[in-house]
Structure 1
């Protein structure tokens, strides 16, 4: 069981789940919009997009796993290993997000003027995905969940 079992039992995992779902939704928009660029003749080879996707795919995987872990906790499961999985996935997503952001910046720099506004929207969605992920991390900390200091 948890190190502080009572504290976890009296806390509601729903807020964490909702924040992670919001982060995942924003990530879905980043994925959908940036993948669309591969199917537009003028942007199919946009510098930075393939490299960005090398990090977007694992970032998405970690968000999906974090959502699933928080759903399990909300449903009443209490294994410490689920919390550890949740923490690891949040940290891994944050690490991948840094490289996603770098790729998006490269894409914006290399896009023709007509596609820069579209890429700016993708960047806004990425900012939203990161913000909700950070809010989920903060919510977990208030519940007594600790995170590595990396």
Structure 2
């Protein structure tokens, strides 16, 4: 059992803020990369569909991590909430690796006209990853282990 009172007064708000910033950056990645499907010159851009195969679960895990940290800020104190938060951070990080690979493929295959736009998406992805990493570090400084909580294939079995 975790000493939740210590956590509540020492950092869940910071974790929530960092995760919200990560989610905001993820929103920009989603909006901008999805727009490419609606532009005739980029609708079939190599790497975009594959990147979205990982962006969707990465987004889900960020949303769930934000919700979990909000619950902790609100005073809920079950270890299962912390375990959910940790699993989602780890799963989002794993998906981010493949998102970045897809973005690199997109950048390599885009016409010169769209490279700056894709580079902006890559910058937003970098922000999403950086804030997620900072949230993870913040949780670790509170004494929460972040190892061994990944769900199989990044999915939950309910």
Shift of 1:6: 4.6
Q: Deviations over 1:38-94 (max 9, x none)?
A: 000000000000000000000000000000000000000000000000000000000
Does residue 67 (structure 1) correspond to residue 66 (structure 2)? The answer is yes
Question: What corresponds to 2:20 in structure 1?
Answer: 21
Query: How many residues align structurally?
Result: 149
Partner SS state of residue 75, structure 2: coil
Q: Distance in 1 between matches of 2:8 and 2:94?
A: 30
Tell me the TM-score normalized by structure 2: 0.91
Question: What corresponds to 1:124 in structure 2?
Answer: 123
Answer yes or no: is the 8 Å Cα contact 1:55–1:97 preserved in 2: yes
Unaligned runs of 5+ in 1: none
Partner SS state of residue 96, structure 2: helix
Unaligned runs of 5+ in 2: 151-158
Runs of 4+ in 1 over 4 A off after TM superposition: none
Q: Deviations over 1:81-130 (max 9, x none)?
A: 00000000000000000000000000000000000000000000000000
Q: Distance in 1 between matches of 2:49 and 2:129?
A: 20
